[in-house]
């Protein structure tokens, strides 16, 4: 940015020529463009006014810029100029003004001309900052056609700020009047906003009423609203309801175009929005409370049904909302407190490490900042949560819940099967009664035949439904198998934890953790963990010191897997034995040991083990000392199952086309499989020959 600050503004352009001027215009809406001063009119007034102000021939407009339909409260200002003399990209809400400011920063113009100061900014202080930070340092000027103000003088600067304040007051007063009027109309039960799906603005004598009055149902769409509500309450998910509507060819009409086109396909989002809208129950929202609207008499369903829908939506929600439920590094955020000052610890990253920190010393003068490794703290908490999960009363409640959940989906099917069987028995009785009436002469042959055909048609439909139910119930064995596996997984808390998504893990911790406090001692930190139904325990944690200075070294920077590697070496095991115990490769084991030694500033692994011995012994119950046992590497020239089967079929004399019929793949794919298998077998033979 140019640091020169001339004492006077420019009077001529470069090389003594006319001043270079930028014409800038803005309107907030189409209505303002039609009823007020349009963009074209502003440009005309600017061209005439600037010549009248500076003289004919003394100014040349080098750019006519405008921002149609953008409010004056948005856009870049002088405070959004970064060090390299450009505007912050995320502040470019007004392309015309952004380009004008960039031209001024690049010294491509001498004067910025507007119709009035409100076209530039609604806030006069932003205009004053523009003059003080951009225009004055470069000797450039700002001219308003309607307001003859010299912005270089203190009086002119004051006038611009006052005019901006008056404009803001006028807008705020008008907005308040509009809000009061809309509230009064809403108190009367009128509908505000766009009518939802299934509704339109009420008409009177063939002409639309005011949009702030009421809405009326669209007959063909309001029935779809009822069907959606009934299907959802019957047990269908939002996605299934959308599929049913699309299968029946029912279109969904958007009120606005999306990416230049309208969509007529239902999605689960559309269904969810429809179910959450209280307008279908004849209600409007006033101050956070539902009340009957003017369209209450035309409602699609009553308020009790709407409340039942909302309860079902809440109970079926599988993903909790909020940053804490979506970001794994925020798992314990809001639960951890500092033992010195009592403030909540904040989650942050430091040199690639997730940490919980206390940024202030608000307690005793000798209190210390708390700074702990997030992974280590989470492992300590999970170690205590696993004890809660192993309590007999918790396991019994979980078994009961799993059993109910596994059988809940089939109870409705079993009930419907009984109803279908009763209907089949009723059809049999109807046929017997018709035959008896024919024998007694109460029915003619023609009427008897018609009645039997009607009963047989209904019976055929019921039997087809019975077959569908039997097919659905045939999966009960799979459900029982899943239930048995779920009950077995309760004995391993780690298995249950691995199947939880981040939001479910966060909610679990917020349910069981009663107190979690970190205190920093001289040599290490301690975590006071109090869970519901369990006594308070104290766990030692490594304290972070070097990371405060931006250095990722010391015990605090070593991961739990690296500490586990050091533990195995401290037990006298070879690297290959430690790698086998942890279920990792030997190279990975050696790499983790090398990184741990470098962070501990140790010359070799033995010194690293000695430096970390105290903390490894203290926290060994939190370390992943064992891993996947018995995992073998795949042989170098091993055939896949598909390749081995193809070789066996070829040995039996089957052709490639016959193998294709066996596998259900193309002939080219079969030939490629056989070629790859032959190449592997040939390479294996060559390798064995070379070894011999």
Quickly list H helices, 513-636.
560-570, 575-582, 586-599, 605-618
Residues with Cβ within 8 Å of residue 111, at least 6 apart in sequence: 19, 20, 21, 22, 50, 54, 59, 140, 141, 142, 143
pLDDT of residue 630: 43
Q: How many CB atoms lie within 10 A of CB 258?
A: 8
Mapping DSSP to helix (H, G, I), strand (E, B) and coil, where does residue 102 land? helix
Query: Contact 52/5 with Cβ under 8 angstroms?
Result: no
Quick count: other Cβ atoms within 10 Å of Cβ 395? Answer: 14
**What value does the CA radius of gyration of the chain take, rounded to a whole number of Å?**
39
Query: According to the model, what pLDDT value does residue 635 have?
Result: 58
Give the model confidence (pLDDT) of 200-247 as tens digits: 888 765 555 544 578 888 888 888 899 899 888 888 888 888 988 888
Structure token digits, residue 64: 């006519």
Which of 484, 475, 512 is CA-nearest to residue 497?
512
Angstrom distances, CA of residue 517 to CA of 91, 359, 682: 42, 15, 64
Per residue in 100-154, pLDDT (tens digit) is 888 888 888 889 999 888 888 877 777 777 887 888 888 888 888 888 888 778 7
> What are the residues facing 68 on neighbouring strands?
27
The predicted pLDDT at position 275 comes to: 92
Residue 261 is classified by DSSP as B
Other beta carbons within 10 Å of 317: 9
Report which of 406, 407, 420 is spatially closest to residue 468, judged by C-alpha positions.
420
Return the half-sphere exposure (C-beta side, CA atoms, 13 A cut-off) of residue 27.
16
Confidence (pLDDT) at 327: 60
608 in Cβ contact with 566 (< 8 Å): yes
Neighbour-count burial of 311, counting CB atoms closer than 10 A to its CB (0-12 exposed, 13-18 middle, 19+ buried): exposed
Tokens of 55: 């003289």
Query: What backbone phi and psi angles, to 5 degrees, belong to 41?
Result: -65, -40
Q: Give residues with Cβ within 8 angstroms of 191, minimum separation 6.
A: 212, 213, 214, 215, 279, 284, 293, 294, 295
Tell which residue, 94, 99, 101, has the closest CA to residue 27: 94
Round to whole Å and give the CA distance between 582 and 627. 4
Taking the whole predicted model, whether its pTM rises above 0.75 is answered as: no
* 3 state SS for 202-220: CEECCEECCCCCCEEECHH
C-alpha to C-alpha distance for 17 and 10, rounded to whole angstroms: 11
DSSP label at residue 391: S
Tokens for 603, please give them: 């010359």
Contacts of 555 by beta carbon, 8 Å cutoff, 6+ apart:
542, 600, 612, 615
Give the Cα separation of 458 and 334 in Å (integer).
62
Residue 104, number of CB atoms within 10 A of its CB? 21
Say what the pLDDT of residue 203 is: 73
Number of Cβ within a 10 Å radius of residue 22: 24
Residues contacting 154, CB < 8 A, separation 6+: none
Cα 287 from chain centroid (whole Å): 28
* pLDDT for position 631: 45
Chain centre distance of CA 206: 45
List the structure tokens of 562: 């690296």
Q: How many whole angstroms separate alpha carbon 614 and alpha carbon 591?
A: 22
> Closest Cα to residue 376, out of 352, 358, 360, 353?
353
Angstrom distance (rounded) from CA 157 to CA 131: 9
Q: What is the pLDDT of residue 22?
A: 92
Instruction: Tokens for 535, please give them.
Output: 């006594």
The 3-state secondary structure of 130-176, one letter per residue? HHHHHHHHHCCEEEECCCCCCCCCHHHHHHHHHHHHHHHHHHHHHHH
Q: Going edge to edge, which strands form the sheet with 59-68?
A: 59-68, 19-27, 111-114, 141-144
Positions of the chain with pLDDT under 50: 1-8, 210-211, 258, 362-367, 545-552, 629-633
Strands 336-338 and 513-520, by their bridges, are parallel
CA dihedral sign, ordered 61, 67, 69, 75: negative
Distances (CA, A) of 150 to 130, 134, 202, 357, 654: 14, 16, 55, 53, 97
**CA-CA distance, 343 to 174, in Å (whole number)?**
44
Q: Which residues pair with 160 in a beta bridge?
A: none
């Amino acid at each position: 940015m140019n640091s020169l600050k001339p004492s006077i503004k420019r009077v001529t352009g470069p090389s003594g020529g006319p001043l270079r001027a930028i014409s800038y215009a803005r309107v907030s809406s189409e209505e303002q463009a039609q009823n007020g001063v349009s963009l074209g009119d502003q440009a005309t007034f600017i061209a005439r006014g600037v010549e009248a102000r500076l003289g004919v021939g003394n100014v040349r407009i080098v750019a006519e810029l405008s921002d149609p339909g953008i409010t004056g409260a948005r856009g870049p200002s002088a405070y959004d100029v970064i060090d390299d003399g450009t505007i912050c990209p995320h502040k470019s809400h007004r392309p015309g003004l952004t380009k004008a400011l960039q031209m001024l920063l690049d010294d491509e113009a001498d004067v910025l001309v507007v119709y009035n100061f409100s076209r530039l900014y609604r806030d006069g202080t932003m205009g004053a900052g523009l003059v003080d930070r951009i225009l004055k340092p470069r000797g450039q000027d700002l001219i308003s056609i309607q307001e003859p103000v010299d912005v270089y003088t203190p009086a002119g600067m004051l006038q611009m700020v006052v005019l901006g304040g008056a404009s803001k007051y006028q807008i705020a007063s008008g907005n308040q009047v509009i809000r009061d009027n809309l509230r009064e109309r809403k108190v009367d039960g009128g509908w505000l906003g766009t009518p939802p799906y299934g509704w339109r603005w009420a008409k009177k004598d063939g002409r639309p009423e005011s949009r702030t009055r009421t809405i009326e149902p669209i007959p063909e769409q309001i029935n779809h609203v009822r069907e959606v509500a009934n299907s959802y309450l019957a047990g269908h998910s939002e996605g299934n309801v959308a599929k049913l509507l699309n299968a029946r060819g029912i279109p969904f009409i958007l009120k606005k175009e999306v990416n230049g086109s309208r969509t007529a396909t239902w999605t689960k989002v559309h269904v969810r929005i429809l179910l959450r809208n209280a307008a279908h129950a004849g209600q409007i929202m006033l101050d956070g409370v539902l009340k009957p609207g003017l369209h209450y008499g035309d409602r699609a369903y009553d308020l009790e049904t709407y409340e039942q829908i909302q309860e079902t939506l809440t109970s079926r929600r599988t993903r909790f909302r909020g940053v804490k439920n979506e970001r794994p590094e925020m798992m314990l955020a809001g639960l951890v407190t500092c033992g010195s000052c009592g403030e909540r610890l904040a989650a942050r990253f430091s040199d690639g490490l997730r940490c919980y920190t206390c940024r202030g010393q608000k307690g005793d003068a000798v209190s210390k900042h708390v700074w702990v490794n997030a992974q280590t703290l989470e492992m300590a908490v999970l170690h205590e949560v696993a004890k809660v999960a192993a309590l007999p009363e918790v396991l019994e409640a979980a078994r009961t819940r799993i059993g109910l959940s596994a059988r809940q989906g089939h109870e409705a099917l079993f009930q419907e099967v009984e109803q279908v069987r009763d209907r089949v028995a009723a059809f049999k009785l109807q046929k017997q009664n018709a035959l008896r009436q024919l024998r007694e002469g109460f029915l003619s042959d023609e009427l008897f035949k018609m009645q039997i055909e009607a009963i047989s048609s209904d019976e055929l439909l019921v039997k087809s439904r019975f077959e569908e139910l039997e097919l659905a119930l045939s999966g009960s064995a799979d459900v029982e198998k899943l239930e048995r596996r779920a009950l077995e997984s309760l004995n391993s808390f780690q298995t249950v934890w691995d199947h939880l998504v981040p939001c479910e893990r966060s909610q679990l911790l917020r349910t069981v953790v009663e107190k979690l406090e970190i205190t920093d001692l001289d040599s290490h930190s301690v975590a006071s963990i109090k869970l519901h139904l369990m006594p308070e325990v104290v766990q030692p944690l490594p304290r972070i010191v070097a990371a405060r200075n931006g250095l990722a070294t010391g015990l605090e920077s070593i991961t739990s897997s690296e500490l586990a590697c050091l533990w195995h070496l401290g037990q006298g095991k070879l690297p290959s034995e430690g790698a086998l115990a942890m279920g990792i490769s030997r190279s990975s084991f050696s790499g983790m040991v090398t990184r741990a030694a470098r962070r501990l500033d140790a010359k070799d692994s033995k010194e690293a083990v000695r430096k970390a011995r105290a903390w490894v012994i203290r926290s060994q119950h939190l370390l992943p000392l064992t891993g996947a046992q018995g995992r073998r590497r795949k042989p170098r020239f091993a055939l896949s199952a598909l390749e081995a089967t193809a070789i066996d079929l070829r040995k039996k004399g089957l052709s490639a086309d016959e193998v294709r019929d066996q596998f259900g793949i193309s002939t080219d794919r079969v030939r490629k499989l056989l070629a790859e298998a032959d190449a592997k077998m040939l390479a294996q033979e060559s390798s064995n020959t070379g070894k011999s």
